[in-house]
């Protein structure tokens, strides 16, 4: 649905002979239709620039961005305005017009898009129903809670029936309960409308709750990306470590610990003790946790296996025991 192909973005450096700032450095990334995809990374990693290039607030220096197969980077004028409507954005600070009512805020985008007056009112009513604010049409933004303001933001972003929703730290200004409600609304809208959602966030909770996939950026580059449920069995995954922390491996076991990972299974005491009883191999649990990710129960456990009499370990036997019970073993 959205693909970035070798995208570079340079900003002019500050000062006369300063080198340009490389904000995006050969970024290639594909986001499938209907995915909710998180862009993670420290401050300055290039996340906002990626979003701004996607919605044409910035032009790429080189490379191509495609949306639904169309080369997005070469569009201009009328064509650009028309495809831009396929993309709605919601912001951290909502960006509502304070002097306009909720109704007029949502109508505004439709007016700009040249919709006929008689079509605007029913569409706004439909949108306010969709986001759960049918009784707030005549309120002003100052009379709304943060969560309600973001619902207006969502209604406004979806007014022109976009295929893509961009969320730029859209829940960072909200309390945890309101954040959950907004994320559940976004997920519900994705399910009902087939939206593709690209979001930037600093909050692991947001990624855990709604993302199917994520990319980690550092210094303008994508350093890791993938489907979240696939990344959990990768012991090297920084994204998985951020979302389902393992804690630090104990020094004594450094280098010979292994990762047990599972999705929608339970690693309970009986599993570990059954393993020990059946194989005579002891298991030390070094760290791990179980989290809910995109509606799935996902666990990662760092363990070390030890033969009590100093015998060798049969890796194939260990793998077979856990794999039969839906648990992946990785070095
Ligand atoms: N208009 C600009 N002019 C010059 N440099 C810029 C401009 N916008 C961003 N940069 C630089 O590009 C790099 C990437 O910035 P960007 O805002 O994309 O990062 P970010 O990951 O979104 O950070 P944050 O999480 O703090 O918003 C940074 O080094 C930043 O200083």
Q: Is the dihedral of CA 272, 324, 300, 179 positive or negative?
A: negative
Pocket test for ligand 1, best of 8, 38, 39, 47 (most atoms within 8 A of CB): 47
pLDDT computed for residue 54 by the predictor: 92
pLDDT category, 241, cuts 50, 70, 90? confident
In this predicted structure, the answer to whether residue 267 has a pLDDT above a threshold of 80 is no
Task: Tell me the CB-side half-sphere exposure of residue 85, using CA atoms within 13 A.
Answer: 14
Query: From ligand 1's centre to the CA of 94, what distance in Å?
Result: 20
CB 318 within 8 A of CB 329: yes
pLDDT digits (tens, 9 = 90+) for 124-142: 999 999 999 999 999 999 9
For residue 76, what pLDDT band results from cuts at 50, 70 and 90? Answer: confident
Which residues, 6 or more positions from 27, have their beta carbon under 8 angstroms from its beta carbon? Answer: 4, 6, 7, 8, 46, 50, 63, 217, 220, 221, 222
Q: Ligand 1 mean position to 164 CA, how many Å?
A: 23
Nearest CA to ligand 1 atom 28: 44
Q: pLDDT value at position 174?
A: 87
| Ligand 1 centroid from CA 74, angstroms | 23
pLDDT of 50 > 90? The answer is: yes
The whole-number pLDDT of residue 223 equals 95
Find the residues whose C-beta lies inside 6 A of ligand 1: 11, 21, 23, 41, 43-49
Q: Hey, CA dihedral for 166, 168, 170, 171, is it positive or negative? A: positive
Q: What percent of the chain has pLDDT over 70?
A: 95
Q: What mean pLDDT comes out for the span 314-325?
A: 87
Q: Are strands 36-41 and 196-200 parallel, antiparallel or unpaired?
A: parallel
Per-chain mean pLDDT for the chain: 89
Is the complex ipTM more than 0.85?
yes
pLDDT in tens, 145-157: 999 999 999 999 9
Axis-axis angle for helices 117-130, 146-158 (nearest 10) = 130
Residue nearest to atom 13 of ligand 1 (CA): 23
Ligand 1 center–CA 12 separation, angstroms: 12
What domains, with CATH codes, occur in the chain? 2-231 (3.40.50.300), 245-330 (3.30.70.260)
What is the pLDDT at residue 180?
Answer: 92
Joined together, the tokens standing for residue 278 give: 């059946």
Backbone CA torsion sign across 144, 147, 152, 153: positive
């Amino acid at each position: 649905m959205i693909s970035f192909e070798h995208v570079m973005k340079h900003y002019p450096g500050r000062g006369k002979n300063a080198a340009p700032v490389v904000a995006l450095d050969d970024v290639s990334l594909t986001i499938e239709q209907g995915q909710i995809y998180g862009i993670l990374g420290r401050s300055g990693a290039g996340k906002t620039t990626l979003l701004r290039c996607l919605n044409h607030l910035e032009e790429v220096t080189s490379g191509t961005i495609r949306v639904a197969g169309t080369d997005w980077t070469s569009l201009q004028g009328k064509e650009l305005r028309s495809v831009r409507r396929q993309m709605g954005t919601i912001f951290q600070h909502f960006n509502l017009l304070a002097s306009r009512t909720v109704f007029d805020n949502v109508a505004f985008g439709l007016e700009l898009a040249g919709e006929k007056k008689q079509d605007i009112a029913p569409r706004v009513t439909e949108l306010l129903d969709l986001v759960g604010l049918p009784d707030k049409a005549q309120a002003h933004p100052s009379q709304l809670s943060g969560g309600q303001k973001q619902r207006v933001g969502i209604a406004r972003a979806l007014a022109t029936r976009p295929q893509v929703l961009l969320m730029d730290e859209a829940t960072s200004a909200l309390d945890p309960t309101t954040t959950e409600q907004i994320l559940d609304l976004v997920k519900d809208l994705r399910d009902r409308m087939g939206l593709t959602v690209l979001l930037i966030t600093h909050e692991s909770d947001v990624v855990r709750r709604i993302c199917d996939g994520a990319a980690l950026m550092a210094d303008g580059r994508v350093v890791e990306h993938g489907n979240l449920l696939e990344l959990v069995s990768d012991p090297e995954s920084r994204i998985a470590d951020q979302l389902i922390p393992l804690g630090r491996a104990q020094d004594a076991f450094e280098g010979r610990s292994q990762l047990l990972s599972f999705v929608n299974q339970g690693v309970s005491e009986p599993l570990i003790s059954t393993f020990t009883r059946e194989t005579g191999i002891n298991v030390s649990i070094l760290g791990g946790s179980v989290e809910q990710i995109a509606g799935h129960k996902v666990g990662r456990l760092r363990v070390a296996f030890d033969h009590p009499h100093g015998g060798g370990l049969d890796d194939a036997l260990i793998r077979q025991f856990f794999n039969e019970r839906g648990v992946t073993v990785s070095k």
